[in-house]
Chain A
Amino acid sequence: MLGRLAIFLAYQLEGSKAFKRWKRIFHNLVENPRSRMRPYFDLFMMVLVTLSVFLYIYEVKHGIDTFGRYFELFAVSLFVCEYLVRLWLCDDSHKTIIEHYEKTEFLDLRFRLWPALRQILLCKWRYATTPFAIIDLLAILPAYQSLPILRVFILLRLFKLLRYAHSINEFIRVLSEKRFELYTLAFFLGFVTFASSTAMYVFEGEVNGGQIKDFSDAVYWSFVTLFTVGYGDITPQTPEGRGITFLLVVSGVGLVAFLTSLLITAFAEKMDELRESRVYAEVEKLKDVILVCGYGRMGQVVVKKLLEDKVHFVIIDRDRERVALAKKRGFLVIMGDASSNEILVKLGIRDRVTTVLSLTGDDVHNVYITLTAHHLNPKLNIISRANKPESARKLEQAGADHVIQPFEIVGLTVAEYVGQPVAFEAVYGMASGDRHFRIEAVLVREGSILDEAQISEIRFEKKRLILFGIIGAAHESRNGLSGYSLRSRFFYFNPAGDFRLHANDILVVFGHEYSINHFKETADKGRLKLSRKTA
């Protein structure tokens, strides 16, 4: 009976949209590192924790007042809620029940609630014993005012701050990688402390005229001496005790030096990695990222242009000097091989990256980058550089959408220059968008004023524009017109006045950037005036 109720409820939850929505909202609030609400929530909790600890410090001298009591109540209830929400979010309990039920149905067995329940409880228990969950719990405990000793646990709330400060995770990660050395050190420390404490207890006891009353005194003295603090409240009185002190101080100095060097090397080794993990975290927040593989001369030119446009980009390079240069200029940069699946996936090649520029000076590497990127996400726009003419075809085969051939571009510019110097300057200027004159594409939106308009009605010359042509699909009204085929569409050069536009056509216009922007704006907002002859 209880089992049936559980199954019914589980299916109800599975089908409920509101339940899922709430779960997603809470997930965004407390867990999802990429949500917009999360940083605010973290900040709020940090402030709350700090305030509650300050209140505790205030209480020590002044005693608690009504406001303090209410504030404490508020903080604790919020902590409890947070704890419960996290416990709820750690897995999907109703799915476990459904899974169990379906398994038993499949095997034609009777459904029993207990195994499913046990699995759910086990899962929750596993979460509850993670360090962060324990810290959360300890932050709640001081609410039991009846036990004064628990009030000290309020200080443990400070640990809760770590939960919200993300850099601490990296700190812990670095330390955990030096686990072996730290364990060795801890073992050595334990051994030395134990041996010296025992010796002190034996030689420096009150029986022998020493100051050590019991074993805990001996341990306390050993620690203070070993870490070279030496308060001097307990001092060795016997020659044996002094001998032990010599040994302990020497090993203490060695120990401290060893520990310090251990920590420093651990961080020095991981410094690059730490910095890089920051880059990855930063990239994770972005959308529509361009990946620039290779920060050589060509990469630098492109990056400079991208920067002017405020487009998001990440640089990957294998060369240490170039990476340092990019870093100095304040760009997001990863040192490594751009053809490594791991780096590309971590940078979000599947969802965040839209374009990959493979611009290294090595064609083999470019082909490999292109292939890897295309394989990981076929929808990417990949632009690749071919340093040798033979490589162009290979790059296209590897999945490059555009292949840039520097020598060919130079050849073209040279040919234009020799043929017609002035026209060359015009083309060069237009292609590079210099001198404020440029060619631009203007899309005819559905239902816009341009839709169904005739070319002669638009009067480009009045708008100080030159119409080069129209890119559009073949249409019955365009039969008999010759267009240049352009991928799946046609380019109609210099169309006649009675040429009729349709939605999704693209006008290719030339003019000063002001004129172009003005034209686009008026066309988009429907303020463009057409000169209809019959209207």
Chain B
Amino acid sequence: MSHGKIALFGCNNLGLGAAGRLNSRQHRFFLVDNDEARVKTAVDRGFDAILADYRDDEVLRSIGIGEDVDTIFCFFPEDSENVFLTISARALAPKLRIVSVVESPEAADKLRAAGADKIIDPYEVSGRKIYEIIKRPIIVDILDQTVYGRHDLKMAEVEIPEGCCLDQRRLSELQWKERYNLILLGVVNRERGKDLRFVTGGVDYKLSAGDVLVVLGPPQEIGAFKQEICVH
């Protein structure tokens, strides 16, 4: 979906873990760190890594921030480093998507004030996951095995293009179940905002061009579905 480059700051476990996941998904990305040894480990693992000092605006500009980089991830271990990077990058590129991890919960607000779009709290996410394992082990198993990519179930967003056969059709007319081995989870109406509406409610929704369908299913089915509604 994104066509710009992605920059991951911090060649530590978090950065390398994220890079490992991105690799398989065909994105253009590179890692950045100011420590030579850490850059070397990243290069040894086969990633594209740059030795650069994030504190210098000139350096940031030279690696493409404000130009072809459209998303950055701040994976530094210190919250202060992440805040500094967020502020510098935001000043250089107002439209940049900035995602940062946060170490202590108080820093989340500071990062948001500094201009980060999305905050990921690794402890919070992991803690919730542990709770889920205790509470609903079966569901976690299924999500792990399927959606999170070890088996071949994928979640995908499909945008309805202009002049598509689905345009101006109601959901009930689609006979979804009979035609595709896909589960339609929800719809995002671009006109009404970015919120995802789950299609469990009894509302018979009318689709229009520009809406995004969130579907779950095997990748080949998703591909076939895209073909059918002429998304290229």
Contacts and interface: CB of A to CB of B under 8 A. Distances in A.
Interface of A: 290, 296-302, 304-306, 309, 311, 355, 357, 359, 381, 383, 385, 387-389, 402, 404-423, 425-427, 430-433, 437, 439-441, 464-466, 468-469, 471, 484, 486-487, 491, 493-494, 497, 506, 508, 510-512, 515
B39 interface: no
B31 interface: no
Contact of B157 (A385, A423, A432, A468): A423
Contact of B143 (A404, A431, A494, A506): A431
Contacts of B184: 466
B200 A515 contact: yes
Contacts of A412: 21, 148-149
Contacts of B147: 427
B26 to A, nearest CB: 10
Nearest to A437: B198
A409 B122 contact: yes
Nearest to B153: A493
10 contacts: A290-B134, A299-B127, A383-B134, A405-B17, A407-B16, A417-B99, A437-B198, A440-B136, A494-B181, A494-B182
Contact of B135 (A309, A410, A497, A511): A309
B101 to A, nearest CB: 6
A497 B151 CA distance: 24
Contacts of B27: 418
B21 A305 contact: no
B102 to A, nearest CB: 10
Given A422-B214, A510-B200, A471 B138 contact: yes
Contact of A491 (B104, B122, B145): B145
The 5 closest A-B pairs by CB, nearest first: A301-B127, A411-B17, A415-B21, A407-B17, A297-B123
A427 B132 CA distance: 14
Given A411-B14, A414-B22, A508-B139, A433 B123 contact: no
A355 B138 CA distance: 16
Interface string B149-188: 1010101110000000000000000000100011111101
Nearest to B22: A415
Contacts of A355: 134
Contact of A389 (B17, B155, B181, B183): B17
Given A298-B126, A420-B1, A471-B138, 14 more contacts: A359-B130, A406-B123, A409-B125, A412-B21, A412-B149, A418-B2, A418-B22, A422-B214, A426-B186, A439-B142, A441-B139, A493-B181, A511-B200, A515-B200
Contacts of A298: 123, 126-127, 130
B9 interface: no
Contact of A300 (B127, B140, B181, B212): B127
B96 to A, nearest CB: 14
B18 A491 contact: no
Nearest to B23: A415
Interface of B: 1-2, 6, 12-14, 16-22, 25, 27, 71, 73, 99, 101, 104-105, 118, 120, 122-136, 138-143, 145-149, 151, 153, 155-157, 177, 181-186, 188, 194, 196, 198-202, 212, 214, 216-218
Given A418-B6, A511-B200, A484 B125 contact: no
Given A422-B214, A466-B199, A494-B181, A404 B136 contact: no
Contacts of A413: 120, 125
Contacts of B182: 494
Contacts of B128: 301, 305, 431-433
B155 A409 contact: no
Nearest to A387: B13
A465 B199 CA distance: 9
B118 A417 contact: yes
Output the residue of A302, A407, A416, A469 with the most chain B CB within 10 A: A407
A189 to B, nearest CB: 58
A309 B201 CA distance: 27
Contact of A406 (B118, B125, B149): B125
Contacts of B21: 411-412, 414-415
A383 B156 contact: no
Contacts of B18: 410-411, 414-415
Contacts of A290: 134
A384 B3 CA distance: 38
A494 B188 CA distance: 22
A305 B127 contact: yes
A17 B182 CA distance: 62
A387 B146 CA distance: 24
Output the residue of A389, A405, A408, A511 with the most chain B CB within 10 A: A408
Contacts of B19: 411
A299 B2 CA distance: 36
B22 A410 contact: no
Contacts of A406: 14, 122-123, 125-126
A464 B198 CA distance: 10
A301 B124 contact: yes
A381 to B, nearest CB: 8
A290 B123 CA distance: 19
A410 B100 CA distance: 11
A19 B52 CA distance: 83
Nearest to B128: A432
Output the residue of B73, B198, B201 with the most chain A CB within 10 A: B198
A301 B128 CA distance: 7
B196 A410 contact: no
Contacts of A410: 14, 17-18, 101, 120, 122, 125
A191 B209 CA distance: 104
Contact of A464 (B6, B149, B151, B201): B201
A420 B186 CA distance: 13
Contacts of B124: 301
Given A301-B124, A410-B17, A466-B200, A431 B129 contact: yes
Given A415-B21, A426-B214, A404 B126 contact: yes
Given A417-B99, A418-B22, A441-B139, A510 B185 contact: yes
Contacts of A468: 142, 183, 216
B130 A404 contact: yes
